[in-house]
Amino acid sequence: MALVSAKGSYAIAAIFVLYEHHNENKPLKTELIAKLGSIPKNFLEQILLDLKKSGIVQSIRGAKGGYILAKPPQDILLIDIINSVEPECCTGICRTRNPALEALWSDFNKTIHNFLARPITIFDEYSLKARSQIDYCI
């Protein structure tokens, strides 16, 4: 059961790449975002258009152009990214008339929404976790 489609996952990956480079104050080319985010370039172009329409990214024209975050990172929520590319995602996962199951799914939906209602600055926490994991493989 996937709550977020490939498009939503790639949108998060694209914003992660832009977030990692936002202090450099220069736009990133689509090709670089695709490479760093492991995103198919043609798919990424569609995603970036959706993110631009939603006001999450801004495109800069010209030879030194590309994409940047349109807002400060603390003002961009994970849910906004996902909703910009798949508006029906994560809404009302409940297909029952059983009151107990309705309550269960309601709590589930609230948990998902609360997690996704966090700003992209949470990427720092997960990057730190990833770097701190020790790999003992030889």
Residue 93: predicted pLDDT: 62
| H helical segments located in the chain | 6-20, 30-37, 41-53, 78-85, 99-116, 122-132
pLDDT of residue 2: 60
pLDDT level of residue 74 (50, 70, 90 thresholds): very high
Res. 125 pLDDT band, cuts 50 70 90: confident
Q: Where are the beta strands (DSSP E) in the chain?
A: 57-60, 66-69
* Cα–Cα distance, 96 to 85 (Å, whole number): 27
Domains of the chain as residue ranges with CATH:
6-132 (1.10.10.10)
Amino acid letter for position 86: E
Q: Determine the average pLDDT of the residues in 72-99.
A: 84
Q: In whole angstroms, what separates CA 42 from the centre of its chain?
A: 17
Q: Residue range 92-115: average pLDDT? A: 84
73 pLDDT exceeds 90? Answer: yes
* Coil vs helix vs strand at 59: strand
6-18 confidence digits (pLDDT tens): 999 999 999 999 9
